[in-house]
Amino acid sequence: MATNTANPLADEFAFDIGGPVATYWVALLRVITGWYFFHAGVTKIIESGFNYAGATGYLQGMTGTALGPLPVWMANNLAWLVKPGVPLFETLIGLGIMFGALTRLAAFGGAIFMTLFWVGNGGYGHGLVTGDFQTLLIFVTLAALAAGRYYGLDAVIERTTLVERHPKLKYLLG
């Protein structure tokens, strides 16, 4: 807050969560994070279509992680879902986050992806806080702050009669 009242340019500046600076920042963080995931998914689609073999290879390489045999089982038994699912869901999560549509649902999906990446990539030579973990925290933050309500489509969707009749849908929006 500015305290110099003699300066006409010294308007009040606050970073309250409901203030304009915070809303712009949350919207910018949402768009950048959405682009990051959208780009990752679209690149895979362009290069491999919906047959991204890197997904199963990645899961098979997670043998010594905290997830135990689950990733290897997924690679061996769910390849039909994992190969098209990784690029498709990365793209859809990115679009949802970028445009602020179904933001909490998309952020939940992004958090699941980033948890798998964080555990799977290991490499904790500098501690548990890695880039994957930080991206996981960004997805959780976007969901907690209902980031889609800040200049996103969720602000519009929440005013529809469907959502007004079924207010629990707001848990997926925001």
Could you report the per-residue pLDDT of 40-70, keeping only the tens digit for each?
A: 999 999 999 988 888 888 888 887 777 778 8
Instruction: Name residues whose C-beta falls within 8 Å of residue 149's C-beta, 6 or more positions apart in sequence.
Output: 100, 103, 155, 158, 173, 174
Please say whether the beta carbons of 50 and 99 come within 8 A: no
| Residue linked to tokens 């038994």 | 77
First to last CA, the chain: 29
Please say whether the beta carbons of 67 and 119 come within 8 A: yes
**Quick one: pLDDT at residue 2?**
46
Tell me the three state secondary structure of residue 73: helix
Domain boundaries, the chain: 20-172
Residues of the chain scoring pLDDT < 50? 1-2
* Residue 78: HSE in the Cβ half-sphere, 13 Å Cα cutoff: 12
Share of the chain above pLDDT 90, in %: 54
**Quick one: pLDDT at residue 137?**
97
- The predicted model scores a pTM of 0.84
Amino acid in the structure at residue 96: G
Numbers of helices and strands, H then E, in the chain: 8, 0
